[in-house]
Amino acid sequence: MNQIVLIALRRPYTFVVMSILIVLFGGLTVLHMPTDVFPNITIPITSIVWDYAGLLPAQVEGRITYMFERAVTATVEGIKYMHSHSYYGFSITNIFLQDGVDVGRAEADITAIAQRVVKWLPPDISPPMIMRLAPSAIPVAMLEVSADHMTPAELYNLAYMRIRPLLVTVPGAILPHPYGGQDMQVMVNLDQQKLLARHLSPADVHDILMRQYRVLPSGDIKIRPTDWIVQTNASPLRIEDFENIPIKREGNRFIYLRDVATVRLMGRVQQNAVLVKGKQIVIIVVMKSTEASTLAVVDGIKKMIPRAEQVVPEGVKIRLLDDASTFVKDSIQDVVHEMLTAGALVGLIVLLLLGSWRAMAIVWTSIPLSILTAIIGLHWLGESINVMTLGGLALAVGILVDDATVMIENIDRHLDMGKPLETAIIDAANQIVVPTFVATLCIAIAWLPLFGLTGASGYLFKPMAEAVIIAMLASFILSRTLVPTMAKYMMTSHHDGESAHAAGA
């Protein structure tokens, strides 16, 4: 370790350039590093949602949830535990996987067994929706879509068909279906008295509509030099065309759909409503992926709003209703403020105790370089700038100053003995290398137990430990390289000035 001090004294420009590179790469890393409130919590959770409209919760539990759970536990490996909920027409099963399990393989096994379980469940049930859940995938923004001249169903259709496809192009953004209103669809309202008068039942109307409302492939036919595409398209293009669908034949006349029902384009029965100041609107919730930055996602959404306003009808307003980036910025600013305060107090104490602004400048230079080195290391480890990593750096500020302060103070003491500058630097470095190394190692070891934490606490506190350990190691290395280099050029005039003052006295 003493050899590196000699290299620093013989090749000072090498370590000056190294410091400049740390500043450049550290600044670029800060600009491009993901920023969030907390670190990424990637607990492996897979959610399976079954949809069977109209089935009571007790029947959903017995005929869907129980059957699926029994099949999954007998086939899928690596399950830690499961939580299942049975609702009216829905079954939701959250499968928590063990740490270290191949999540992709487990999800493939769950998908395979779900396809097989479909045969055991109630008839005509659709395969489930299988999705990966992540605690870090949280809502970061909320958009309000409103218009005075549109119904909630029309607003929902507009938000789903036009606005949402634009917003999903923002990197890291995840958008579930809009809330408020319902999607537009063709509603056929049957008149029971008219059905009875014509000896028809709702099932008869349903079967006839299913037989006639079809699009079938018919191939092509070649007539001389032209190859004609044959279309068999029985799907009506207008609402009025539905009313002219024949339902039943009585003698020489037909009974049409308009004779027993009314057909309208409208939303389904509304199951949720969003009210802002007593007015129904539609909201679009924007979530972020696990690796994405909250600030980057929210900034992308803000830039996309003017573009979305260009593709919607006149009178439709799109407004940012909620913004999580404000909380992130405030949290980061509070931690950074504490770091700067700690650095200023440390520099002031060094100035008062050593009585030299040059010594204070050397100490102040080593602190930000150690922090920037730690940020670069955290970025290489895949971490983000968050409250935990910045909190670790804030805790390390008071410790980072020790290596540089002890080095400067010992150099100053050897200079007072009348030694030449380089000799004083080398002797001072040799004298404290073992104590400072042991102290740095002890502090780093004290943070190692945090790497043994599991679950959410492990994801939260491991980045803090990484930040402190990397900053401590960087501070120790800088105290053996940059600090001697700066002392070689800055401590000379300081010592000469003190000698001249003593001679004059």
* Predicted confidence (pLDDT) at residue 117 exceeds the cutoff of 50: yes
* Predicted confidence (pLDDT) at residue 292 exceeds the cutoff of 60: yes
Check: CB of residue 412 under 8 Å from CB of residue 456.
no
Flag whether the pTM goes above 0.85: no
Return the DSSP state at 62.
I
Q: In which band, very low, low, confident or very high, does the pLDDT at 2 lie, cut at 50, 70 and 90?
A: low
SS3 annotation, 396-429: HHHHHHHHHHHHHHHHHHHHHCCCCHHHHHHHHH
Mean pLDDT of 401-426: 82
Among 106-115, 208-217, 297-306, 373-382, the least confident range: 208-217
Dist. CA 49–CA 61, nearest whole Å? 13
Q: Which two tokens stand for residue 371?
A: 């922090």
Mean pLDDT of 316-327: 83
* Predicted confidence (pLDDT) at residue 47 exceeds the cutoff of 70: yes
Check: CB of residue 182 under 8 Å from CB of residue 269.
yes
Q: In which band, very low, low, confident or very high, does the pLDDT at 311 lie, cut at 50, 70 and 90?
A: confident
What is the structure's pLDDT at 274? 80
Dist. CA 185–CA 304, nearest whole Å? 28
One-letter amino acid at 46 equals T
What is the structure's pLDDT at 505? 40
Among 41-45, 307-311, 474-478, the least confident range: 41-45
> In order of start, what are the domains of the chain with their CATH numbers?
2-39+328-500 (1.20.1640.10), 44-133 (3.30.70.1430), 184-267 (3.30.2090.10)
List, for residues 59-97, the tens digit of each pLDDT value.
999 899 999 988 888 888 888 888 999 998 889 999 988
